[in-house]
A = this chain, B = another copy of it.
Amino acid sequence: MANEPLYKVPTNHRLLLAARPVGVPGPENFTADAVPARAPAVGEVLLETLYLSLDPAMRSWMSEGTSYKQGIPLGDVMLGGGIARVLHSCAEGFVTGDLVQARLGWQTHPTIAGRYLQKLALTLGSAEDWIGPLGLSAVTAYFGLRDIGGLRSNDRVLVSAAAGGVGQIAVQIARIEGCRVVGIAGGAQKCAFITDELGAAVAIDYKTEKDLSAAIARACPDGIDIYFDNVGGPTLDAALEHLRPGARVVLCGRISQTHAAEPYGVRNLGRLSAARGRMQGFLVFNYHDRYDEARTWLAARRRDGSLRQRLHVLDGLVQAPIGLGMLFRGENSGKLVVRVAEG
């Protein structure tokens, strides 16, 4: 019939940023609404969100603003990256059923310009692989260790938040490249995961170690060539005490500082200096034109079984704010994702 729509307009369930967080964020920072999905204009695509990734950086997006990013305006859809399926395409290169990766936002049915979508190469892995071991957390670990850390085989590598999204991949990349790896995490379960599943030589449970520096000394008797830092703060200070000459410190994350009342003062930079060490920060987005290199490497290690990833899956968009709280309380076991719809 003449007036029949080309497709059924779905309801877009959204979570909007309602209040900037004080401390650990949670459901109280968001409001839910439901609106008709916006019809795609020429060049745009209507999507159905399958997975959303929960990452430490999201906390800073919820604040007023940071040095490298404006905060999300109150009332806007919460930002977040993930995997979606194309429902209706008005953009060249995309057809219904394609799987894509994009900054979808916390909504079930985003409408996004095709130029902001990356079609998943399913030859490399499934949708679950793309949110996990081929996702941005994994790509972050890859470039952090290799380009920033200058990874060499036989390096002695220490990784903090080693059971987390980035950390667990960093542990494995270093192990695959022939390094001795020590991981730091909170709790016996995570520590067992790090040694038994990821192949670290030793795991340090920071929750039971009174003296983290002494624990690192025992776990890394020859010192550290690379410290892959996901937490900052006192853990960074403790790691600095054990740098070998020419060591590299990869500043990847600072989750310990996200909710600190005031920033921790790092006292041991003299050790970096004495070790002729290098400490460097980075943003994975700066490697955008080399994502394929990382994913090809990661997919090959995924296929040969040497690279694992544990996903911690929460079901339903409504769980996203709860998951954010779990992330910052260290309650997740594995890379934390929200399954918004079945693939």
Contacts and interface: CB of A to CB of B under 8 A. Distances in A.
Nearest to A253: B273
B282 A270 contact: no
B269 A232 contact: yes
A256 to B, nearest CB: 11
Interface string A171-182: 000000000000
Interface in A244-299: 245, 251, 254, 257, 262-283, 286
Contacts of A283: 276
Nearest to A263: B267
A279 B276 contact: no
A4 to B, nearest CB: 52
B281 A68 contact: no
Nearest to A68: B274
Contact of A266 (B269, B275, B280): B269
* Identical subunits present: 2
A67 interface: yes
A3 interface: no
A279 B250 CA distance: 11
Contact of A67 (B254, B269, B275, B280): B275
A208 interface: no
Given A279-B279, A281-B275, A269 B236 contact: yes
A277 B251 CA distance: 9
Interface string A225-256: 00000001000100000000100000100100
Contacts of A66: 274
A274 B282 CA distance: 7
Nearest to A281: B273
A265 B233 CA distance: 10
Nearest to A285: B276
A228 to B, nearest CB: 13
A155 to B, nearest CB: 17
Contact of A277 (B245, B269, B272, B280): B280
Contacts of A263: 267-268, 270
A266 B279 CA distance: 14
Given A275-B281, A278-B279, A280-B279, A270 B257 contact: yes
Contacts of A277: 280-281
B278 A280 contact: yes
A286 B281 CA distance: 25
A254 B268 CA distance: 12
Given A262-B267, A265-B265, A273-B281, 17 more contacts: A66-B274, A68-B245, A68-B274, A251-B273, A254-B270, A263-B267, A263-B268, A264-B265, A265-B267, A272-B281, A276-B280, A276-B282, A276-B283, A277-B281, A278-B278, A278-B279, A278-B281
Ordered nearest first, which 10 A-B pairs have the shortest CB separation? A265-B265, A273-B281, A263-B267, A278-B280, A251-B273, A67-B274, A279-B279, A266-B266, A68-B274, A276-B282
Interface of A: 66-68, 232, 236, 245, 251, 254, 257, 262-283, 286
18 contacts: A232-B269, A232-B273, A251-B272, A254-B269, A254-B270, A254-B273, A262-B267, A264-B265, A265-B266, A266-B266, A266-B267, A273-B281, A274-B281, A276-B280, A276-B282, A276-B283, A277-B281, A278-B278
